[in-house]
Amino acid sequence: MSWIKWLKSKAHKTDFSQSALTIPEHIAIIMDGNGRWAKKHHLSRSLGHREGAERLHDITDACGRLGVRYLTVYTFSTENWKRPAAEVQTLMDLFVEFFHKYDSMLRQNDVRLRFMGDKTALPASVQQTWEEAEAESCHRQGLQLILAFNYGGRQEIIKAAQHLAQACCHQTLQPLQIDEQHFKAALFLPDVPDPDLLIRTSGELRLSNFLLWQAAYTEFWITDTLWPDFDETTLLEAIQAYSQRDRRYGAIETNSSR
């Protein structure tokens, strides 16, 4: 089904046909609320995370059809190690399971898999899955699905600062030469453009250490919907809101007569 037909098929729930949609090139999502969803349904937190992983599959599929180029999802933060060991283990296991379960769907949809975060602190099975998924999909031309796993924005910035400081020590760079381009080049995925739209589910009004550098001019959209309840219609609501934003980047409206 073409995405226009698909959009129309969704229009009965929310009227998206009235306004033209601007599809963001890069969407980032803080997939929050798995625990609250589980509690609401009298289920274990593990089952909440499992349901959340299914939604990641659905939203990846939807973003591919819409023509989004990059989808970055926050799957495990550097602070999530503070959770009980059993929950951390579930999240590690789900990471491995997700790629095995959806390998053929991701291949069929030409989805390229990329990662950002500190791989070295992760269990061997996670590191292996990460490396295999990256290597096997590196030639794919469709949507780039980027998993922020064991990721922290501060950690990423510190790592970049260390890299630049080292270049200065080796005299391949002078401290005063360091500009935004040098800094961006030292981040995890320098070729990926900054996110246009950042969605956070479950209503929290914070970044929780996600994409601190990259989100400087990103448009935010927060919903009370818990991540396991997030669907294509909610995604379209976010895109519709984004389409109406005036991104000024500190300047004034292009056609402003005032």
Annotated active-site positions, please? Answer: 32, 80
Least distance (Å) from ligand IPE to the CB of residue 88?
A: 9
156 makes contact with ligand IPE (CB under 6 A): no
* Two structure tokens written together for 148: 């922020």
Hey, what amino acid is at 113? Answer: L
63 lies in the binding site for ligand IPE (CB under 6 A): no
Q: How many CB atoms lie within 10 A of CB 37?
A: 25
- Choosing from 76, 98, 188, 242, the residue that interacts with ligand IPE (CB under 6 A) is 76
Whose tokens are 């739209």? That residue is 197
Residue least distant from ligand IPE (Cβ): 35
105 to 1, 57, 71: CA distances (angstroms)? 16, 9, 16
Judged by CB under 6 A, which stretch of 19-27, 32-40, 98-106, 171-179 contacts ligand IPE?
Answer: 32-40
How far apart CA 77 and CA 91 sit, in angstroms, is: 11
- Using CB under 6 A as the binding rule, whether residue 206 contacts ligand IPE is answered as yes
Backbone φ, ψ for residue 114 (5° rounding): -135, 165
> Residue 137: in which H helix or E strand, if any?
helix 124-137
Start-to-end CA distance of the chain, whole Å, equals 45
**63, 91, 111, 238: which one binds ligand IPE (CB under 6 A):** 91
Q: How far is the CB of 37 from ligand IPE (least distance, A)?
A: 7
Nearer to ligand IPE, 76 or 98 (CB): 76
Q: Which C-beta is closer to Mg ion: that of 79 or that of 110?
A: 79
The letter for the amino acid at 31 is M
Q: Which of 105, 87, 93 is nearest to 48 (CA)?
A: 87
112 three-state secondary structure: strand
Tokens 């260390």 belong to residue: 162
Using rule CB under 6 A, residue 74 touches ligand IPE: yes
* Residues 13-52 as x/- pattern, contact with Mg ion by CB under 5 A: -------------------x--------------------
The identity of residue 218, as a single letter, is T
For ligand IPE, which is the closer residue by CB, 62 or 91?
91
Which one, of 239, 222, 221, lies nearest residue 67 by Cα? 239
Binding flag, residue 126, ligand IPE (CB under 6 A): no
Asked whether position 196 contacts Mg ion by CB under 5 A, the answer is no
d(Cα 41, Cα 219) in Å, to the nearest integer? 32
Binding segment (CB under 6 A) for ligand IPE, from list 72-80, 109-117, 159-167, 184-192: 72-80
Any contact of residue 35 with ligand IPE (CB under 6 A)?
yes
Residues that bind Mg ion (CB under 5 A): 32
Residues that bind ligand IPE (CB under 6 A): 30-36, 74-77, 80, 91, 202, 204, 206, 208
